[in-house]
Amino acid sequence: MKSKSELRVAIIGGGIGGAATAVALQREGIRADIYEQAPVIKEVGAGVGLRPPTVHFFKNWGIYEEIEKKSSKSDFMQVVACNGDVLVSERWPLLTDNPEGKWARLIHRADLIETFLNQLPSDSIHLSHRLESITDQGDHAEILFENGHSIEADLVIGADGIRSTIRSKLFSDTKPIYSGTHAYRAIVNDKEAFELVLDHTFKVFVDGGIQIYILPLHHRNQVSFDVTLQSKDPSWRPIVEKKDIVKHLKNFDTKIQKIAENVEEYTCRSIYDIDSIERWHSNCVTLLGDAAHAMLHHTGQGIQDAGVLAEALREADSIPEALQTFQARRKPVTDKYQELSRQEPSIESETAFPEKGHFEKA
Ligand SMILES: Cc1cc2nc3c(=O)[nH]c(=O)nc-3n(C[C@H](O)[C@H](O)[C@H](O)COP(=O)(O)OP(=O)(O)OC[C@H]3O[C@@H](n4cnc5c(N)ncnc54)[C@H](O)[C@@H]3O)c2cc1C
């Protein structure tokens, strides 16, 4: 393998997975250039939960203190009936060997990605670069962007999301599968959340096929509000009016209905995932994050991919060996999460964490 300073590494996609990977590689002394199709890197307004296995990598990358300042510690998750009755109340499962690790940190997506990008040299982030074609030459790959720019890289990381061009050109013709649901998301000020969540408990309210996720972001004086509804419209960015969201929530606690009515603007997305694919990598190209294993919402795994890929590159004698190790360590885990993410919380749920039985440490 070339020396770390000589390696040419290109990451396609500047989402959570791509940006985390650039930080992880930088920590290993490897510069990676990010090529992002959008003219700005912007995350939708929504909260995410970070668990101890992810936080473990943040500590290694030297960014934990910054993340800690921008997030809140959450000890519990609840599944709640639409009338407010708590059906399940559970501590976050223990997913690392640290017995203290039964928690998650709740963060706004924009704060998370900003933290990653702040670590990187600005000249390593190339916006308005949409990958058009990729040619795998065995020991390197050639990439052409729509803007006419072309590059060669010893390692290409395809972090280009669920509709990955790299996946379809090199690895699999699998197509995203529509879940039959839309997610309508908004960030609401604490005082407009009617004291529905005063602590840091992540709550999912359920009524038949409807779920409402309320993820507190009290460090910002906000909560993340996410309504998941069934819909026959599979457009990626459906246009849905507020009244057509609110009308489905008549069975819910009146505070929830009020929150939903008061939201000024929802971000609307159809929810898709992919089936597990056989192979993520060649000798010089790998998929990562949603490009490799998109799952239904509220599960990701891209940051842990980033950490494991960086470790594999540190340990291996060659890039092909590192990519084999990466897939071997990650795929059994992400296959299971893909499968479990298809179990939506409901009134019958016996646990808020279907992954507990598979990944919880004794
Ligand atoms: C409603 C909802 C809630 C969620 N909640 C959570 C949660 O709580 N916790 C969690 O872990 N996960 C959650 N997820 C999943 C999480 O959002 C994804 O796993 C994560 O964003 C995937 O990151 P990524 O970098 O792999 O892909 P993406 O975020 O999709 O990023 C891909 C990037 O590649 C760029 N790109 C695409 N094609 C090209 C191209 N040809 N050339 C150049 N650039 C390209 C795109 O513009 C984009 O910036 C949620 C998802 C949804 C929809």
More confident residue, 47 or 362: 47
Ligand 1 site: residues with CB under 6 angstroms?
Answer: 12-18, 35-38, 46, 48-49, 129-131, 159-161, 165, 183, 185, 226, 269, 271, 289-291, 297-300, 302
Is pLDDT at 1 greater than 80 in this prediction? no
Residue 330 confidence (pLDDT)? 98
Rounded mean pLDDT of 121-141?
98
Spatial CB neighbours of 358, under 8 Å, sequence gap ≥ 6: 336, 340
Pick the atom of ligand 1 nearest to 145's CA: 42
Res. 344: pLDDT tops 90: no
Q: How far is the CA of 144 from the centre of ligand 1 (A)?
A: 22
Q: State residue 184's pLDDT score.
A: 97
- Mutate which of 162, 297, 344 for ligand 1? The one with the most ligand atoms within 8 Å of its CB, which is 297
pLDDT attached to residue 251: 96
Mean pLDDT within 185-203: 92
Query: How many Å lie between the centroid of ligand 1 and the Cα of residue 294?
Result: 8
For the purposes of burial, counting CB atoms within 10 Å of the CB of 291, is it exposed (0-12), middle (13-18) or buried (19 or more)? Answer: buried
pLDDT at 298: 78
Residue with the bigger pLDDT between 3 and 200: it is 200
Query: What is the spatial distance between Cα 38 and Cα 128, in angstroms, rounded to a whole number?
Result: 5
Average pLDDT rounded to a whole number, residues 257-278: 96
Q: Whose CA is nearest to atom 41 of ligand 1?
A: 131
Q: How far is the CA of 13 from the centre of ligand 1 (A)?
A: 9
Q: Residues 146, 36: contact at Cβ < 8 Å?
A: no
pLDDT at position 158: 98
Q: For 259-268, what is the mean pLDDT?
A: 95
The H or E element containing residue 357 is helix 356-359
Distance CA 96, CA 91 (A): 14
Q: What is the mean pLDDT of residues 306-325?
A: 97
**How many angstroms separate the alpha carbon of residue 301 from the centre of ligand 1?**
10
Q: What is residue 108's predicted lDDT score, i.e. its pLDDT?
A: 97
Paired sense of beta strands 210-217 and 71-74, if any: unpaired
Q: At what angle do helices 52-61 and 302-315 cross, to 10 degrees?
A: 50
Domain ranges of the chain: 9-71+105-176+274-344
Residue 235's pLDDT band (cuts 50, 70, 90): very high
Residue 255, pLDDT score? 93
Give the rounded distance of the alpha carbon of 145 from its chain centre: 25
Q: Residue 267: which residues within 8 A CB-CB, separation 6 or more?
A: 44, 45, 46, 184, 185, 186
Higher pLDDT, 298 or 141: 141
Q: What is the per-residue pLDDT for 157?
A: 98
* Amino acid 362: pLDDT: 73
User: Does position 345 have pLDDT exceeding 90, yes or no?
Assistant: no
Q: How far is CA 151 from CA 155, 280, 309, 312, in A?
A: 11, 21, 22, 24
Alpha carbon 244 to its chain centroid, in Å, reads 27
DSSP assignment of 249-314 equals GTTS-HHHHHHHHH-S--EEEEEEE----S--B-SSEEE-THHHH--STT---HHHHHHHHHHHHH
Residues 6+ apart with CB under 8 A from 244: none
Write down the CATH number for the domain with range 9-71+105-176+274-344: 3.50.50.60
- Give the contacts of 254 (CB within 8 A, at least 6 positions apart): none
The pairing of strands 222-230 and 177-189 is: antiparallel
Confidence of residue 45 (pLDDT cuts 50, 70, 90): confident
Q: How high is the mean pLDDT of the chain?
A: 95
The pLDDT of residue 297 is above 80? no
% of the chain at pLDDT higher than 70: 100
CA dist 246 to 59, 192, 233, 263, 297, Å? Answer: 41, 16, 17, 10, 21
Whether the CA torsion 185, 186, 190, 195 is positive or negative: it is negative
Residue nearest (by alpha carbon) to ligand 1 atom 6: 298
Residue nearest to atom 7 of ligand 1 (CA): 298
DSSP letter string, 197-239: --SS-EEEEEETTEEEEEEEEGGGTEEEEEEEEE-S---SS--
pLDDT of 348 above 90: no
By CB atoms closer than 10 A (0-12, 13-18, 19+), residue 3 is: exposed
Tell me, what's the pLDDT at 138?
97
So what's the pLDDT on residue 194? 83
3-state helix, strand, coil in the chain (%, to 5): 30, 30, 40
Q: 51-79 pLDDT, tens per residue?
A: 999 999 999 999 999 999 999 999 999 99
Q: State the pLDDT confidence band at 217, using cuts at 50, 70 and 90.
A: very high
Distance in angstroms (rounded) separating the CA atoms of residues 98 and 120: 30
d(CA 249, CA 213): 13
Examine the pLDDT at 41 and tell me if it is beyond 80: yes
For the stretch 17-36, pLDDT in tens is 999 999 999 999 999 999 99
What is the number of the ligand 1 atom nearest to the C-alpha of 162?
Answer: 30
Rounded average pLDDT over 4-16: 95
pLDDT at 357 > cutoff 80:
yes
